[in-house]
Structure 1
């Protein structure tokens, strides 16, 4: 994994996350999980400079080139960070596809996000942030011979999806036009800091 790309992804994701509260959705009895996948990026680095006035933290990048993070006001524990602190960054991305077995329902999209920050018990800067995007598409056509499903997403332009998995191909005969498929995209950013023993 390219460390620069991992750091860039972590920074890009962090800039998207808001402090909105997360409302968990209970699994619906009429929903059937049909596929999922996940990918994790991980990088460990060291703080080389801190600019508290401008809320910027510089860390050691690949080949000892500096990478600067611009932090927001949400980074409350920034004054606790010191040069030489180790930073461990993990970004996990997952996607799950769920079939709503009921017919009906309009295409839609929703975004939920939240953060967990440092606590009194663990005052080191860091925490977790997550963002979940749920996109509901409606089935408009099913082609069993070609193993294709035509979906209408919220943006209104039909998309043809080729079903490659033989197990899922066998289940296609149970699909019906006007059922909905939800694609749930989840990203979790975890940042931990530690200080070398003096």
Structure 2
């Protein structure tokens, strides 16, 4: 499992979530992605308790509690290298139709090590979509009042001049979706002996 696959999953999630080609009624407003990467080493394994300890920042050990889903844990050895990548992305989409309702949904999944790669590792993704309804548009102050699923109105100040110019096209009761996507990739390898 490599970073290309991680980026592909994140990109596919964003494209699928923003429905760029599928729905002309949805317009992407903005998006951004951030990737974090750390390579560390296994220093201790407590197999009965399903705990793995790795070198953390400043050589301070960090212990992780693993679930039963970590099927290849018995294959892990002290000294194995652990490569951890986290990709976080957010996309904002405006629904040009009027009448959507505030809502939230979450989707997640995992991909585990394969028979061709017996080293412990895998990938997990989580995507949360929050739909807020536009309740008020103030072109003078460049503010949009949104009603999120929690029900408490939120005022958002539009700072970007390009987006401010497009505010005149907004309508009350349109919806704005914020799609958060996280992809975690863990890959292990054994140093050559």
User: Normalising to structure 2: TM-score of the pair?
Assistant: 0.88
Q: Determine whether 1:32 maps to 2:7.
A: no
Spell out the pairing of 1:41-60 with structure 2 (5 A cutoff).
41-60=36-55
Question: How far apart in 1 are the matches of 2:37 and 2:89?
Answer: 15
Structure 2 unpaired stretches of 5+: 1-15
Q: Determine whether 1:84 maps to 2:50.
A: no
Is the partner of 1:79 in helix, strand or coil? helix
Aligned residues: 175
Aligned to 1:9: none
Aligned to 1:173: 168
Question: How far apart in 2 are the matches of 1:96 and 1:52?
Answer: 40
Deviation at 1:29, TM superposition (A): 2.5
Question: How far apart in 1 are the matches of 2:181 and 2:17?
Answer: 13
Q: Determine whether 1:191 maps to 2:186.
A: yes
Question: How far apart in 2 are the matches of 1:140 and 1:36?
Answer: 23
Aligned to 1:111: 106
2:128/2:179 contact within 8 Å kept = yes
Question: How far apart in 2 are the matches of 1:26 and 1:44?
Answer: 32
Which of residues 153, 158, 170 is equivalent to 1:163?
158
Deviation at 1:107, TM superposition (A): 0.2
Question: How far apart in 1 are the matches of 2:172 and 2:17?
Answer: 25
Is the partner of 1:115 in helix, strand or coil? strand
Structure 1 unpaired stretches of 5+: 1-23
Deviation at 1:63, TM superposition (A): 2.2
Question: How far apart in 2 are the matches of 1:131 and 1:107?
Answer: 20
Aligned-residue RMSD, C-alpha: 1.1
Runs of 4 or more above 2 Å deviation: none
Question: How far apart in 1 are the matches of 2:33 and 2:17?
Answer: 20
User: Normalising to structure 1: TM-score of the pair?
Assistant: 0.86
